[in-house]
Structure 1
Amino acid sequence: MACIMDGNRRWAARRSLPENAGHRAGQAAALDVIDAARSVGVRWLTLFAFSSENWHRPGDEVAFLMRLVQSTVRRHALALHAKGIRCRFLGASDPRIPAGLRRDIAALENLTRENRGMTLTAAFGHGGRGDLVQAAQSLIRAGIPAESVTEELFAAHLPLPDTPDVDLVIRTSGEQRISNFMLWQVAYAEWIFPPELWPDFGTEPFLQCLDAFSRRQRRFGARPRTAAHVPTGVNLA
């Protein structure tokens, strides 16, 4: 499953606080959601932390976000490892990411590489269209004939190709946009748009979204199937 963490700046504006306060509050909400997902047995969780389009934001805001992510990685690396969480970053090869942060990201990925409790992916500097372009470039470099390209082969050339298709996407703040997020993997995802701004989205709203998902019927373009029941321990992607 995946979360588009939307609403940090609006949360701060409604409280007459600087935007950075919203981002700090959003960091705390993200940690709560990670723990909640792990506690109910979610096996794959992706958090949309920073998009390829977010580089167009004011420079001081971008610099603050880079520092916030770096402090989060450094502060929580050992705790995430102790919980058996494998941590990965989608898009973090962007050269605009500060070198020190790239080193810390690599260290966290290496530290947690063998963990199998839950795979946590931070989409950081990520853009879905960019991923599709990378896959096409990889196929071309491999010299694969056009007529040999299948959906399965194309997916194998995407970044982090072992990531399963997403079952559920939660986008907070009531906004209803894809925002160039994991375009290939969300093709048949269910979407839920809770009204809470991300800093207000903690354990209880998260569990409510899982409950709503469990009552949906997933059709995948065919006849109705049974509801997407989500018991504890489910391998939700």
Structure 2
Amino acid sequence: MSKVEKSLHKDSPSNIPVHVAIIMDGNGRWAQKRKLPRLFGHKEGAKTVERVLEIAIKRGIRYLTLYAFSTENWKRPKEEVEGLFSLLKNYLTKKSGDLQQNDIRLRFAGRIESLPEDVRMAMVKVQKETSNCKTLDLILCINYGGRQEIIDAARKLLDIYSSNIDEIDEVSFRSCLYLPDVPDPDLIIRTSGEMRLSNFLLWQSSYSELFFTETLWPDFSEKDFDEALESYAKRQRRYGAV
């Protein structure tokens, strides 16, 4: 066990976040700094995902949620959007075996029905193939928006409780979210120096701890991840109590 791992585990298991969510920002700027097409940054960012998965398992994290493609990302150039989905399909096709070998369950959150059919089919296939894995749940938020998730949940609630809206509470609302069984993120990390949530997990982030780093996502390293985990371990979470 490394010094960092010993430090994180020192006082109690609660020092380790159960659920870490990451806003993976900076792929485009990473490429532009090197005078490369933006898609090169996304390819490097995909390599970082693999690195972060290994670290998350080593550190004992149970859920890892990655903001992969937002509902607003459709506004990007068509070539970039198509390239992103090609990368995703490629990843799903090639990495299913690795995910199973490492006991990683792959799940998705977002308006999946609006994605290209070939991408959807690849997603469904890998999700099924990894459904019995239990070490880590990897959740990719694709065509995802926090406001959109709340709207979709509200529509479900209206269908279920249209005759008795007094029964609607936080528990019933949560049951209508995309992945209601997944606990709220303990820690949300955003790379690239931006300091906002950008429509990410708005309902679930009510009491999440936030960590911002200047590091661009393709450069995000084990040291950066451990810095975020160490910062989290030093905080006292009160959930509104004194």
The alignment status of 1:60 with 2:79, answered yes or no, reads yes
Q: Is the 8 A contact 2:63 2:138 kept in 1?
A: yes
Give the match for residue 105 of structure 2: 86
SS at match of 2:107: strand
Equivalent AA in structure 2 for residue 175 of structure 1: E
CA distance, structure 2, for counterparts of residue 14 and residue 60 of structure 1: 20
Structure 1 position 112 matched with structure 2 position 125: no
Q: How far is 1:57 from its partner? A: 0.7
- Alpha-carbon distance in 1 for matches of 2:146, 2:237: 23
Tell me if 1:220 matches 2:232. no
Residue 192 of structure 2: SS of its match in structure 1?
helix
Q: Distance in 1 between matches of 2:52 and 2:111?
A: 22
Residue equivalent to 1:73: 92
C-alpha distance in structure 1 between counterparts of 2:207 and 2:229, whole Å: 17
Contact 2:161–2:167 (Cα < 8 Å) also in 1: no
Structure 2 gaps, min length 5: 1-19
**Identity of aligned pairs, percent?**
40
1:184 CA drift (Å): 0.7
CA distance in 1 between counterparts of 2:201 and 2:95 reads 25
Q: Contact between 1:92 and 1:102, CA under 8 Å: does it hold in 2?
A: no
Does the alignment pair 1:174 with 2:193? Answer: yes
1:20 to 39, 43, 48: 39
| Of 134, 137, 141, the match for 2:159 | 141
**In the alignment, what sits opposite 2:228?**
209
How far does the alpha carbon of each residue in 1:70-95 deviate from its partner, in whole angstroms, 9 at most, with x for none?
A: 11111111101111111101115232
Pairing partner for 1:46 from 62, 65, 75: 65
| Counterpart check, 1:102 vs 2:102 | no
**Conserved in 2, the CA contact under 8 Å of 1:49 and 1:123?**
yes
Mapping 1:119-158, distance limit 5 Å = 119-144=137-162, 145-158=164-177
Show CA shifts across 1:145-183 (max 9, x none): 221101111001111110111100000011001110011
Counterparts of 2:170 and 2:161, CA distance in 1: 17
SS of the residue corresponding to residue 131 of structure 1 reads helix
Following superposition of structure 1 onto structure 2, how do residues 195-206 of structure 1 map, counting pairs within 5 Å?
195-206=214-225
After superposition, give the CA deviation of every residue in 1:23-54 in whole Å (9 maximum; x if it has no partner).
11111111111110011110011000000100
**Partner Cα distance (1:148, 1:98) in 2:** 37
Check 1:9–1:172 CA distance in 2 against 1; reply closer, same or farther (3 A cut). Answer: same
- Give 4+ residue runs of structure 1 displaced > 6 Å after superposition: none
Contact 2:195–2:212 under 8 Å retained in 1: yes
Equivalent AA in structure 1 for residue 41 of structure 2: G
Separation (CA, whole Å) in 1 of partners of 2:150 and 2:131: 25
Gaps of 5+ in 1: 224-237
Amino acid at match of 2:200: F
